[in-house]
Structure 1
Amino acid sequence: MELNSNFAENSLLLSDVQLQEQLEQQKALASVIARIRESLDLETIFQTTVIEVRQLLNANRVAVFQFDMGKNWEGEFISEDVASGWISAMAVKVRDRCFGEQFAVHYQQGRVQAVADIYEAGLSDCHVAILSQFQVRANLIVPLLREKELWGLICIHQCSEPRHWKESEIEFIRQIANHLTVAIQQAKHLHEVQLQAAQLAQAVQRDRVIDRLVDRIRSPLDIDTIFKTITEEILKLLQADRVAIFRFNADWSGSFVAESFTEGWTPLVSVQNAIADTYLQQTQGGRYVNNETFIANDIYQAGLKDCHINLLEQFQAKAFATAPILQGDKLWGVIAAYQNSSPRQWQSYEVESLSKIGTQIGVVLRHHELLTKAQYQAEQQKTLTSVITRIRESLDLDTIFQTTVTEVRQMLQADRVGIFRFNPQKDWEGEFIYEDVALSWTSARAEKVYDHCFSEHFAPLYAQGRVNAIADIYQEKFQACYVQILERFQVRANMVAPLLKKGELWGLLCIHQCDAPRYWQSSEIEFASQIAEQLGVALRQDSYLKQFQMQAVQLAEATEREKAMERQELLAATIDKIRQSLDVKTIFRTTTQAVRELLEVERVAIYRFNSDWSGKFVADSFKDGWKAVAQAQPMIIETFEHPDEDDKLPRNETFVPIRQGETLWGLLVAYQNSQPRYWKDEEINLLAQVGVQLGIAIQQAELLEQTKRQTLELTQALQELKQTQTRLIQGEKMAGLGQLLAGVAHEINNPVSFIFGNLVHLNEYIKELLNVINIYRQNDSLFPDIKKQIDKTDLNFILEDLPKTLDSMKIGTERISQIVLSLRNFSRTDEAELKPVDIHEGLDSTLLILGHRLKNNNERPAIEIVKEYGDVPLIECYPAQLNQVFMNLLSNSVDALEDKFKTIHQKHLKPSTISPKVPLTIWINTQFINKQIVIRIADNGLGIPEEVRSHIFDPFFTTKSPGKGTGLGLSISYQIVVEKHHGQIKCSSKPGQGTEFLIEIPSGN
C-alpha cells in the first residue's frame, strides 16, 4: 500500500514537471511569435529566437543556417546563441556533399532530424566530420521552408554530451520553425516590395532625367552641343565609365563623333580612325537596322568573335550596352555605354533608357536634317532670286551669265561652273564662254570641244529640258571619247542642265566636281534646272530686244500659260470636292451602324492603334441602353488574336484587323454584351471584308489629303509664276514703250531744232529783202521795170502778212519742242533708278501725250481737264514707271467718258428727241498729307459695279471687248505703286456718278 502511494506521488510530481516544461515552452513560443510580429527585420527575429530557444532547452548552441541557392547545398550560419566554453559557428562556410544524398529530400518534406549521439546514429563520415568541427555531440535539426523550397535549418546543438530529445522539445522546435518560415516569407515579401519601390523611384528619377534631357536636346542648339549634352547626362544617369555616339559611314564603317568619360580613360573621338566592323558591313547594320539593342555584361563571356573583342579592348571596355539611332527609316549610328573598370550586369531599365535616348537622338537628327535642308533650300532660293533679279535688272547677257556662274558655284560649293555654247554652224562643237572656277583647277574658257558622241547619247535628252547628273564618270557606262573630254577638264562628277532658246538647244550650264565623286541631291538638281530655265528667259529677253516682232509670240505663250494655270486650279477644285465626299468620320459612322444591324449585335466599334500600340475607340454604334465607348481615354489592348483552342467557344466579342496598306491601323470589333455568342465563319468573314474596305477608305483619305497639300503647293507656285509673268510683261512693255517714245522724240527733235534754228536767219533775210523793196519803191524812176513788177503784186498785204507767218512758224516749232520734251519726260529712259522728281511734270507730260484723245471729234465733244495741283515736294520714285501709272489711269478715264457719251447719245438717236449736253470732265488733284504724296484722278463717267471693282487689280482681268486691252494695265499699276514705291492705290466708284483712283506714295522726306 505504501509502494502504491509512493508511485502515485512520483507520477504526480512527474506530471507537474512536464506541465511546467510545457508551460515554459508555450511562454517561449509566445515570446518568439510576439517578436516575429513586432519586427520585420529578419536578423532581429533570428537572434531573438536562438537566444530564447537555447535558454529554454538549456542547449549549448542554437543557430540558424541558410543555404546558398546558387550552390549545391553550401551555406553558412547567419545567427546563433552559444554557451560559454564552446566555439562560434558563425561566418564559417559549410559544404556537405553528403547532405544532398541523405537529408535534402527529407528536409524538403518538412522532416525533423533528432540525433542523440552523432557517433551512434549511423551518419556518414563526412557528415560526422563537419559536426565534429563545431564540437557537436547531439543535435536537433528542423527545416525552414520558403514556398516549399528548402531555405535553411534551425539547429540545436548539444556539445557537452549525448542527449535524448523529448517529443515535446521536437514539437516545440517544429512550431518555432513554422513561425520562422512565416517570418522568412514576410521578409521576402518586404524585400520585394522595397525592391519594387526602389525600382519605381529609380524609374521616376530616370524618366525625369530623360524628360529633362529630351527638352534640352530639342532646344535650338547645334548638333555638336546636343551630342555633348546627351553623353554627359547619360554618363551621370547610368554611372558608366564612358558614353559615346558612333556614326556609320556609307560602307558601314564609322567613327565616334561625341563622348563623355570619367577620369583616367583614353578619348575615342578624333583619336580612333574609321572603324570597320566586318559583321556590320556584311549584315548591312545587323540587328541595329531592326531597332534592336545589344548588351554584353562581360565581353569575354558574351560569345563575341575575337575581332570584336580586340576592337572593344581598344576602347578599354569590359562591358557595354548599345542602342540604335534611326534617322527616319535609316540607321544613322548607335549610342553606347561602356563599363571599362570591370564587367557589369546591365539592368533592363538602363538599356531601356539608352534606347529611349537613341530614339530621341534620331528625332533630333531628323529635325536637324530637315532644318539643314530647309536652310540649304532657302540659300538656293536666295541665289535663284538673285539670279532672276539680275536677269530682270540687266539686259546684258555678259553680266547675267558671269553673275550666274559665280553665285551658283558659291551656292553649290562646286569646283567649276561654266556656260558652254554650241556653235550653230557646226555639228555639236562649242566652247565655254563663261566660268567661275576654284583655285588649283584649270580654266575651261575658250577651249574648243567637239564630242561626236553627244548627238547620239545626250542631245535628245537635253532637247527635252532634262538635267543630267553624274556622281562618278568612271562608274557610268560612257564611251571612252566622252570620258577623255571630261578628264581634259579634270572632271570627276558633273551636273549638266540644258539652255534652251526658243525650244532649241543653245548651250549647257555645266557644274563640275573635280576633287572627288559627288552624289547630287534632288534639290540641287531642281535648283540647276531652275537656274537654267531663268537663263533661258534671259536668252529669250535678248532675242526679244533684237527682234521686236517676237512680242506677239511671247504674249501668246503667256496666254497659254494662263490657261494652263486655270486648268490646274479647276483640277485642284475637283480634287477638293472628291476629298470632301470621302469623309472618314461619315464612313465610320455609317459602317458601324450598318454592320451592327446586319450582324444583329448590340455594339460595333472601331479601335485605332497609336504608335506605342496603345489606342482608343474612334467610332461605335450601339443599341439603346448601352453607353458610348468612342472618344474614351486611351487604353491598351493586351492581345488582338484569339487563341486557336477558343475559336469554337462562345465569346462576347470578335474583331478583325483594319490595315492601311501593310500597316496595322486598328480593329473592327463586334460585341454581344448581354451574353456570350457563337460567332459564325460567315460573320467573321463579313467583318474581315468590311475591315479591308475600311482600310482602303482610310488609305484613300490619306492619299486625298496628301494630294490636297500637293495641289495647294502647286497652286501657290503657279500664283508666284503668274505674278512673275506679270512683272516680266510689265518690264518688257515699259522698256519697249520707253525706247519707242525716246526714239520718236529723238527723230522729231532733230528736224524741229533745224527748222527753229533757221527761222531766225529767215526773219533777218526777209527784213533785208523788204528794205530793198522799199528802196526800189522810193526810187521807182530809177528802176521802172522793177516798179512795174512790184505794182503787179499786192505788196502791202505781203508786208503785213509775212511777219505774222514767221511768228506762226516760230510758235509751231516751239509747240513741237514742248511735245518732244513731254515725250522725254514721260519715257525718262535715262532715269531707271530712284530719283527725286516733280510729280506735276509727269502728270502734264502724260496729259500732253493724251492731248489728241482729249480734243473734240466727230463722235463726242472735248474732255475738260480740271487741275487742282497742291504744293507738294519732290518725290523719290521711278519716274517712267509712275508715268505709266498716270497713263493707265487717265486712259481708263478717257475710255469711261467715251462710253458714257456713247451710251447717252444712243438713247437719243430718234429725230424727235434732243440730245442733252453731256459734260465730260477729268479732275486731277495733288496734296501733301502726313508725309504722303496723295494723287486723285477722278472722272464723271458711268462708274464701275462693285462685282467688277473688286477684281480690277487682278492680272488679265478686263471688262473691255477683245482687242481693246489685255487686262494688265491696272494690275501693273498696282504692282508699281505698292511693290515698287511701297504706297497704296485705291478705287472708289458710284454707278452713274463716276470713278476716283487715289494714289498714296511716301515722300521720303
Structure 2
Amino acid sequence: MVLQDFEQTKQIFDSQSKNGDVKTAEFISHFEPQQAFELVNGIKADLQQIGDSLKPEVHQKVLLLEKWVQQLQTGYPSHLAVACEQHVKQTRQKLFTVLAQMRQTENVDTLLRTTVTEVRKLLQVDRALIYRFQSEKHGTVIAESMVVGFTPSLGESLSAIAFGCENRQNYEQQQVVVQEDVYEKVKSAYQLQLLKHFQVQASLNLPIVIDGQVWGLLAIQQCSGSRQWQEAEVSLLNQIITELRLNLQTVELLTQRKQEAKQEKVLAQILERIPPSSDASVTLGNITQELRQFLKADRVIVYRLNPDWSGAFIAESVASGWVALMQEQEKDVSLRSKDKLDYERCTVKMLGNLATLDTDTYLRDTQGKDFVKHKAIKRVDDIYTAGFSDCYIKTQEKFQSRAYIITPIFEGEQLWGLLGVYQNSGPRRWQDSEATLLSLVSQRFSTILKQADAAAVLKLKSEQLVAERERIVADAIDRIRQLSDMNIIFKTTPSEVRSLLKAERVVIYRFNPDWSGEYVAESVSSEWKSLMQEQFNNSILRENISECSAKILGGGRISIADTYLQRTKGGQFSTKTNFRVVNDIYQAGFSPCYIEILERLQARAYIITPIVKGGRLWGLLATYQNSGPRDWQEHEIKVLTEISNQLGIALQQTEYLKQLQEQATQIALAAEQERAVVKVIDKIRQTSDIDTIFKTATQEIRKLLSVERLTIYKFRPDYFGDFVVESESGGWPKLVGSGWEDPYLNEHQGGRFRNNEPFVIDDIYNGNLDDCHIEALEVFGVKSCLVVSIMQGEKLWGLLSAFQHTGPRHWEEGETKILMQIASRLGIALQQAEYLKQLQEQATQIAKAAEQERGAAKVIEKIRQTSDIDTIFRTATQEIRKLLGVERLTIYKFRPDYFGDFVVESESGGWPKLVGSAWEDPYLNERQGGRFRNNEPLVVGDIYNANLTDCHIEALEAFGVKSCLVVSIFQGENFGACCQRFNTAKHGIGKMVK
C-alpha cells in the first residue's frame, strides 16, 4: 500500500507540473524532501529484515521510489520559484488594473462602485462593500458588489458590530478585523442576527482612515461558507485602501471647494438681509432668524461656552409651537450650569456628541477636544437611529429635538461655542450643502468674535502693527474679491504686494497645459529690467522646463530644482499649501547653470507661492529682492500665501461668473423662445382650418429656430407618407410633391416615432445613418435634421421636421423641446379638427333624420285619410320611395303556404317589373317566413358581400338589384307581407319599420 500511495502521488505531481496548476506550488510548499528520503531508507531497512521471502518486483519498486524521491528533492525548488513568481506577477498586474480603474473615476459614487466591484472580482469573494461611519457606532453601506442570491446590504444603516468591532475607535486600534468563521467568535446575539440576515460566514474588514479618523470600512465577505484569509489578501486590500483614500480626498476636496464657492454666495445673500447693528446679541439673533427661514428648520441656536465649560443660549430663532430654549433656561437653571454636564454621562447640553461609553466624554474634562480635533460638524438625521443612550434620548425629547446639525464656533484655536440647527417635527436628511453653509456661517462668527475681542486684547504696539498689516492684506484681498476683470486683478495685485512687502519685483506667472508659460503681470522698481519685456527677447523664459530652470522660479535643493515641472505636473507647487523661500540664491545649493539664469534675471532672494485654481496649479505668485539677500519673515510668507490663495479663488470665481453669464444668456434665449412659441400656439388656436394651422406653424417655427427648412409629413395607413406642408428659405429642392417614401418607416410602422421619440442628427455623415438614407438626404441637400412626432391622440399622424442645408448643426435641447411643443399642439389641432368634422357630420345626419321623420309623418297622415287598401299601398310606396331616395319600393304579400306575390311597387323607371313576375322564394316557403316572423329586418348593403346563396344572387341580378332592405308587415298578430326597398342605406330602417 505504501508503494502504491507513492506512485499515485508521483502521478499527481507529474500531471500538475505539466499543466502548470497553481496547486503545484501549494503541494511543493508542504513537501519535505529530507523526510521523504528518510522514509524510503526506513522502508528499505524493513524489507531487508524480511529477507528473501519478498518478490523481486518489490525490490524493483523500492529502488524506483528511491530514485523518484531523489529527483523530487532536486527539482521542487525550481517548481516552487516559478509558481511563486507567476503568482506574484499575476497578482501585481491585477492590482495595477484595479488601481488604474479607480484613478479614472470622476466622482465619489463611481469611485466607490468601481472599488467594490474590482475588489470582489480580484479576491473572488461573495460580497465586497464600503461602510461609512455616521456616528461612533453606526454607519451606512454606501457601495456594494455581490454575487446574486444573497441579501443585499446597500443603503442599510448598520451597527459597527456587524463587522466585528463595536465602534470606530476599536477599528482604528485593530487595523484589520479577521473573521474566518463568524459563528465561532460571535460577540452577541445581535451581532449573530445581523450576520445571519446577510448570510455572512467569513469576513475581512479594514478601516479607511482619512485625516487621522476612521472614515469607514472596506469589507469583503464570504457568504457561501467559511474562509481562511491570507496575509497577501490583507496586503492587497491595504494598497487598495491607500489609493481609495487618496482619490476620496481629492474628489471630496474638489466637491467641498465647489460647495463652499456656491454657499459663499448663499451666505452673502443671507447676510445682505441682516440689518447692521452695534449690538452683538441683535446681530446673532438676526443671523439665527435668517438661517432658520432659509433652511426651513424648526430651531437655530447659538450656545456660548464659559471657561468652566458651563454655558448658555445667547441667540435663538424658533418656529411657533416649540419651546424657546432662551426662555426655558431662565426657568431651568440646569441648562446654564456646568453640573448639567455630569448627568449620567449625558452631555454637551443636548448639542451633539454620541452618548456612548467610548465617545461621550464631558466637554469639561476634554476641553471640547471632540470638536477641536477636526473642527467637526455633528450631523444627526434621526436621534432614534443614531445609537444614543436612553438618558441622552430623554434629554433630546425634553427639548423636542429629532434631528440636528451642530458646528463649532472657534475664537482662534479656542472652542468659543456652538451653532446648532434643529428639526423637531421629524427626522431630516441633512444635505452636504446645508452643512457647508453652516460651516461657513460658523467661520464668519469666528471672524466677528475675533474682531470684536481684538480691540481689547491688542494693546502692544507690535500687535497693533500685526493688526494693521492684516488689515492691509485683508483690504488687498477684498479689492481682489471685488474685481471680476482678471486683467485689472493682474494689473493691481503685483503693485499692491510689492508696496506691502517693499520688494523690488512681484510677478504673476501662468502655466500652459504643456507646462511652458509666460509672465502675465509684473510690478518692478525702475532700476531693474522688466521680465514682461525680457520674455519676448529671451525665449528660454517662455519655453518648457529645462533641467536647470523650474522657470527660474525653482527649488532650494538641487534634487528639486532640477526636476521638470512637466514631468511632475507642477512639482511641489501642485498644492496651495506649499511655497518656496530663498533668502540668498548663493547659499541655497543651486547648480551653477541655475545660478547663471537667476543672475541674468537679477534675482538674489525670493518667495514663490502657487496659484491653484479649482484644484489645479494655474501659475505662481513670486516676490523678488534683487539688490541683495533678504531674510523673509513669517508674516511676509503668510501675506503672499493668502494673496495667492485669493488669486486662485478669484480666478475660479471669474470662471464661475462667466459660466453664470453664459447660463443667463441661455436662459434669456430660452425665455425668448418660450414667448415666441406661445405666440405661435396662440395663432394656431385662432383658427380651426388645419391647412392654415400647418402653414402658420411651419413659417413661424422656421423663423424662430432660424432653420433653412421646416416640413410636415403625413403618414398613410401603410406608414408610407407624403410631405404636405413646408417652409424653406429658398433655393432648395421641394419636398412637397417629391414622392419621397421611406421603406424603414413602412417596415417598422413608424419606428421610434410611434413612441414619440425625437430623431436628432447634427451631421448626416456622422449620425450612423444607412447609406440609402444619406443618399436620399443628399438629393434634397440636407446636412442636418431634427425630426419629432405629431401624435393625434394615441395615433402617430405624421412628423414635424427641421432641416439644415448649408452645413452640420448642433441642435440644442431647447430646440428639440420647442419642436416637440409645436408638434404636440399640432396633434391637438388635428384632434379638434377631426372632432369638429364628426360634429358636422352628426349634425347633417340629425338634420336628415329630422327631415325624414317629418316626411314619414306626412305619409302616415295620408294613409290615415283613406280606408282603401290599394290607395294606401300605392300612396305608401310612392311617398316612402321619394322620402328615402331609393330606386324601387315594393309590397310583397304572403300566401298561406308562405310563397307570395309582389302586389304593389313604385320604382324610378327602367327596371324590370316585380309585380306580376311570379317571383317565389323557396327559402321563405320552407321556413314559413324565416326571420320576418320575428319582425327582424334584412339589410343587404351589397348583394355580393352579404353571404347570400348563389340562387338568391341570381334572382336579384335578374331584376337588377344591387342592394336591399326588407322589413315585415304584420296584420295584428298575423305575419302576412314584406315591405322591400332597393339600393338604400341603413339609416332608413327605422322609417321602413314605422
Pairwise same-fold verdict (TM > 0.5) = no
Q: Smaller-chain TM-score range?
A: 0.3 to 0.5
- Give the number of the structure whose alpha-carbon radius of gyration is greater: 1
* TM-score calculated relative to the size of structure 1: 0.37
TM-score by length of 2: 0.37
